[in-house]
Structure 1
Amino acid sequence: MTKEATGNLAQVIKENQEVLLNGWLEGMFSRIVRRDRAAEAEMRDHAARFLPLVAEAVEQGGSYDVALASWNEVRRLLSEISQSRLRQGFTPVETATFVFSLKEPLFRLLRTRMASDTIALAEEMAETGALFDKLGLFTVDEHLKGREQVILRQQQELLELSTPVVQLWKDILAVPLIGTLDSARTQVVMENLLQKIIDTGASIAIVDITGVPTVDTLVAQHLLKTVSAARLMGADCIISGIRPQIAQTIVHLGVNLEDVITKATLADAFQVALKRTGAGVAALLPA
């Protein structure tokens, strides 16, 4: 592509910025189902910033290659726009429409400017169309990356919420586990439990697996790691929720839990923990 070809686009944008802006916004707003004044004001601001950045990038680089350094500011703005649309609940397609809506009013101006040279016009429109397709796809990619980050953050938050450490009594903690126990969740369990042991000075931790559907070799290893970590911090562990089928599975797997106290229910484990701490619960006599 020649400097002259890219110069046509830059000049059209610079000389017709207000006309382009109005035509562009009109096209964008006509495609929006959910009308919101705050969102439309933000779109107008983004559009007003986008046009001069594109013209500058074309002039500086003399190319429509959006990977060049001359397009850094354009990419930065599109990334900002994508993240903003993501927070507002827009889809990737709706986000890309921000860029694609500019093509129609821009093509009208190019046809007027280059009407006398149809061959150059056809080439310019093809190159310009490809340019804005790339920029639109860039917004989709940034939108998807942002959504992946949100999902990962939410997964981490759910892990935190699904592995609470509860103080049942002075010196006694409980970790009720529900669902599958994998490596990532085991790490969260250990971190939360160890921090709680430090905060409370607890000497016993009850790990309740009543809500764990199945126990295989990997789950058993995760439990042993948690027990070992707690012991290193000065707290003994009791595993409760050992149902008959889980007991058989552990035996068949050959997992050694001989040095770990196990109980069928959380209540049984709590009674053992009370005795080991020298505490007890007595029934009140009727008045």
Structure 2
Amino acid sequence: MRVSERAAAGSAARELGAFLERRREQIAQRWADTPLFRTVFTVSRDEAVEACKAVVDALADVAATGRAEDVAAPGFDSVREQLGRMAASRARSGHSPAQIADEAAALRTAVTELLRGDVQGPSGGETPSGDGKRDVLLALTVLMGTLRLVIMETTINAGEELIARQRQQLLEVATPVISLWDGIVAVPLIGTLDSARSQVVMESLLQAIVEQRARFAILDITGVPTVDSLVAQHLMKTVAAARLMGAECVVSGIRPAIAQTIVHLGIDLGSVVTRSSLADALAYALTRQGIEVSHRAAGVSPR
């Protein structure tokens, strides 16, 4: 870029920053009625206006530094703080990133209208500094385009955080620890096991062993269709960890296909107590505790 072009760009950036400061109130009032801001601040419009003013101030700071095209400009940090919850709210309500991007693009219209009003004379013609005003309009376009990128970045990050939280919640819900008897807990596993879920199983089971002072822990994998070497290793680690906590771990419900896979992988389960079903595992744990369960004869009432 030549010296004259750099000087023109710097002058346009300063003029844009001054315009944003001068028209701060009008811009905020218009933005407060847009879907992007109105969604979150539904109770108080004044709150929405104040949030809009904070964003306008941040944009003025970015424009003054001449870094309108830089999403990493320090001035955008406060913009991310203001727009983060709005973008997250729009994403939670079912709006796609493309829709949020369109809402962000709509913010430019209100600012452009005000800027054109500033650069036009009483008859609608351009003022003598028409070239400079066009530079300011171009700088505004670049700045608002960068703002749109910042909003999209914030939206995507908020969506990824939401998905991560939901995934963790689903893992915890899908791995319940059940108290079957005094001193006996069980984790009935259903569905595919991966490393992340296996880790949740271990943490949940060990926590239950501590809280309930369990002597026996049953891992029932009747509902698990397949087990690979990594998952089998996680199960072995869970069994070992339970032993260190003072509980004996029993694995039940191993399907024929899974048994063949374990043998094929060469995984040694010789030190692990296994039973064909959850009922058998419970009976084993009860017997080890000296509890005998027997069928009551027909017609005999309980005492």
Q: Place the TM-score, normalised by the shorter chain, in its bin.
A: 0.7 to 0.9
Look up the match of 1:173. 185
1:91 and 2:91 are equivalent in the alignment: no
Look up the match of 2:161. 149
1:101 and 2:106 are equivalent in the alignment: yes
Aligned residues of 2:58 and 2:75 also touching (Cα < 8 A)? no
Trace 1:10-159 onto structure 2 (pairs within 5 A): 10-24=17-31, 28=34, 37-38=42-43, 43-59=48-64, 61-64=65-68, 65=70, 67-114=72-119, 115-116=126-127, 117-159=129-171
The one-letter code sitting in structure 2 at the alignment partner of 1:166 is I
Trace 1:213-232 onto structure 2 (pairs within 5 A): 213-232=225-244
Q: How many residues align?
A: 284
Note the alpha carbon deviations across 1:5-31, whole angstroms, 9 max, x for none: 1232233333334443455456x35x9
Note the alpha carbon deviations across 1:129-173, whole angstroms, 9 max, x for none: 011101111011111101101111111111111111111111211
Look up the match of 1:6. 13
CA distance in 2, matches of 1:42, 1:196: 46
The one-letter code sitting in structure 1 at the alignment partner of 2:81 is R
2:172 alignment partner, one of 160, 179, 182: 160
2:270 alignment partner, one of 249, 252, 258: 258
Look up the match of 2:293. 281
The one-letter code sitting in structure 2 at the alignment partner of 1:205 is A
Partner SS, residue 102 of structure 1 = helix
CA distance in 2, matches of 1:63, 1:251: 63
Structure 1 position 42, deviation (Å) = 5.5
- Structure 1: runs of 5 or more not aligned: none
Q: 1:203 to 1:187 in 2, by over 3 A?
A: same
Structure 1 position 180, deviation (Å) = 1.9
TM-score (norm. length: structure 2) = 0.81
Partner SS, residue 205 of structure 1 = strand
Partner SS, residue 221 of structure 1 = helix
RMSD: 3.0
- Most deviating of 164-173 and 90-99: 90-99
Aligned residues of 2:41 and 2:47 also touching (Cα < 8 A)? no
Structure 1 position 283, deviation (Å) = 2.2
2:251 alignment partner, one of 239, 243, 253: 239
Q: 1:132 to 1:277 in 2, by over 3 A?
A: same
Structure 1 position 203, deviation (Å) = 1.3
Structure 1 position 247, deviation (Å) = 2.6
The one-letter code sitting in structure 2 at the alignment partner of 1:6 is A
